[in-house]
Structure 1
């Protein structure tokens, strides 16, 4: 089980990488962002929308738990996405606004978590109706890993379009240890 310091690091990395990704994507014209590049979600814009959709779904699940409702209240107020491939926004600028909100909430929430919170059982239902009960710490690992997976796809699409995202390693944010 990860500790809260790891969760805070992943929250910071998440925001850092999303900023890098959106800055790189902004170098492309809207038609290039929306072009079908034969990726899992088709276009770069659709891939970025999917990440925001999935993040919204997970954060709303976490916000539904009374222990985390206050910290995630702005997320609870968002409409629930209807599908994993939903296009929340047709423009990068509008999508970036949502991305900023999501990242800010994660960054503000992460430092409030305590180690015992990571063992809290979160009850949720998948879109197919299946009920699940899993530890928050493990769900957060999935939450961050899912973003990394799809950001890797987005980075590839940007590289193919001639845009360099730059260094992307989490290692760049890992602090040096004292000897």
Structure 2
């Protein structure tokens, strides 16, 4: 499998996982979503809003939008239902970006705004790898926090294998996405 194909699949997995987790969080009351919990960020609200904010920052770099760190100035924390909608829009942008990549485009350098460290050129494939790892890292924390509520955390690792196709089919259809087996 090419790296470009892997990133196309990873972008869809990212959208699927985010949606499953945010659908579960939408079943919580506002108080439960905002409640203080033990993790890197002290609530589901802060953790999942952080994931969205970092997505928007990295999408700006990948798309060479030029906003850089200033993107954080315009981001406000969202409640679970609005967060789900906004995250899905961000995930669709990431899917579109990944769908447009090939091996040559993945190896190109894009400027990344690192504040006091200035503009640092980074490879697109490295930025995507970091972004997906960041998402997985914080989704895992949110998943653990959700386990401490009345809502059971959803399964998030039934995506890439053909064996799991039946487990993800309804979700992917609802999101208007195809599964990894449809990508070539």
Long gaps (5+) in structure 2: 164-180
Distance 1:90 1:172, change over 3 A: closer
Q: Give the alignment partner of residue 143 of structure 1, picking from 131, 134, 150.
A: 131
Q: Could you list the per-position Cα deviations for residues 23-75 of structure 1 after superposition, in whole angstroms to 9, with x for gaps in the alignment?
A: 1101110011011113211110110000001001000111216xxx9xxxxxx
Say yes or no: does 1:100 pair with 2:93. Answer: no
More helix by percentage: 2
Q: How many residues align?
A: 161
Q: Could you list the per-position Cα deviations for residues 114-152 of structure 1 after superposition, in whole angstroms to 9, with x for gaps in the alignment?
A: 110110011112133443112111110001010000000
Q: Give the alignment partner of residue 80 of structure 1, picking from 53, 71, 80.
A: 71
Distance 1:39 1:158, change over 3 A: same
Q: Give the alignment partner of residue 145 of structure 2, picking from 157, 161, 166.
A: 157
Contact 2:25–2:146 (CA under 8 A) maintained in structure 1: yes
Deviation, structure 1 residue 97: 2.1
Deviation, structure 1 residue 162: 3.1
Task: Report matched runs for 1:27-176 at 5 Å.
Answer: 27-64=27-64, 80-82=71-73, 88-169=76-157, 172-175=159-162
Task: Kindly report structure 1 stretches of 4+ aligned residues shifted beyond 6 Å.
Answer: none
TM-score, structure 2 length as denominator?
0.79
TM-score, structure 1 length as denominator?
0.81
Instruction: Give the Cα–Cα distance (whole angstroms) in 2 for the partners of residues 117 and 80 of structure 1.
Output: 24
Q: Could you list the per-position Cα deviations for residues 1-32 of structure 1 after superposition, in whole angstroms to 9, with x for gaps in the alignment?
A: x7101001100100110110011101110011
Distance 1:113 1:36, change over 3 A: same
Contact 2:111–2:121 (CA under 8 A) maintained in structure 1: yes
RMSD (Å), alpha carbons: 2.3
